[in-house]
Amino acid sequence: MSSKKLTQDEVDALISSVDTSAKAKADVSASKNIRDFVFGSDDLSLLGDYYALRVINERFARLARSVFQPMLRVQPRITALMPEVKTFDEYCDNAPALMSLTTSRIDELRGSKMMVIQPGFISALINAYYGGDLGLKYQPRAEFTATETRVIEIITDGLNRTLLSAWQDLMQLTFSDESREENLQFASFVDGGEIVIVCSFSVQLPKADDARIDILYPLQTLKPIAAQLRSRMQSEVIDDDMTWRERLERAVSEVRLPINVQLSKPRVSLRDLISMRKGDVYPIQLREGLSVLVQGQKMFFADIGEVAGTSAITITQKLD
């Protein structure tokens, strides 16, 4: 390697050849969606690519369908959208004045989460539950009715249970200190400038516009489990993840059916039947092997008896 050093004249020539006033400029006047960005203002590297959170959201979307089935009488298609990171003020922009806001504290993470349901979706649930048309247009109002408030309680309780089931492979959570509001301005969730992670779910309904459910987590709430959120979840063990056939069998097995016991089958003539009056007595003979009818169908034979002073039967044979 040469040990020759530059002379002062050579150094001056190099410096003079550099035009320090020249700056590279790009013409972005025709571009759209341009906003200022300060590097380091929102450090999201702590959470990686949200892989575990996306898996949790997909499970929640799959399990949450059964929550709406009793009211809609169909299982809607629920799609988990990509999580978004924004400030709470940005989320509140363009939000309707009336919304269902349910805030719960997550004890294990020492933080909170908020579940947001659009009022149009709640109105569709009410219409479907009472036999109406899902395609009815929502009329904006200033507050929820008592019926809508009760439906919100039922839906949010079911969704919270489903959310706990979706989280249980990553960690066991419990929700407490639940509160409900109807306006984002009065919700005591986080400060406006604080960063939140918005997990959105699109609910597709027949003959109606798609509804949307949002679950908001403050960034500070999920930071303690950042390493777990970056991990690749492999377990698929969820106790409540039943198939459609299993849910149908459970629902059918809980149907109540009337049971009748046929004590006797006396025969009377038409003359006696026509002349029958109140107070007439017709003797019957009780025999063994009484017929037990379920919904009018003969299914068992039984003997009559008594248990603790109450008439009862003992099943003796099941009919094929």
Name the pairing type of β-strands 297-307 and 310-318.
antiparallel
Model pTM score = 0.59
Domain boundary among the residues 224, 252, 280 is at: 252
Determine contact, residues 51/230, Cβ cutoff 8 Å: yes
Same structural domain for residues 96 and 193?
yes
Domain that includes residue 162, residue range: 45-252
Q: DSSP class of residue 210?
A: P
Q: Please compute the mean of the pLDDT values over residues 222-237 and round it to a whole number.
A: 71
Q: Assign 3-class secondary structure to 62-97.
A: HHCHHHHHHHHCCCCEEEECCCEEEEHHHHHCCCCC
> Residue 302 sits in a domain of what CATH number?
2.30.330.10
How many domains are contained in the chain? 2
The burial class, CB within 10 Å (0-12 / 13-18 / 19+), for 273 is exposed
Confidence label for 46 from pLDDT (cuts 50, 70 and 90) = very low
Same structural domain for residues 266 and 246?
no
Confidence label for 39 from pLDDT (cuts 50, 70 and 90) = low
Same structural domain for residues 274 and 234?
no
Would you say residue 82 has pLDDT above 80?
yes
Q: State which of 60-64, 253-257, 302-306 shows the largest mean pLDDT.
A: 60-64
Domain contains 28 = no
Confidence label for 269 from pLDDT (cuts 50, 70 and 90) = confident
Distance CA 226, CA 234 (A): 17
Q: Please compute the mean of the pLDDT values over residues 216-243 and round it to a whole number.
A: 71
Domain contains 4 = no
Distance CA 199, CA 113 (A): 11
Domain boundary among the residues 252, 274, 295 is at: 252
> Residue 223 sits in a domain of what CATH number?
3.40.1550.10
Confidence label for 135 from pLDDT (cuts 50, 70 and 90) = low
When the pLDDT of each residue in the chain is averaged and rounded to a whole number, the result is 80
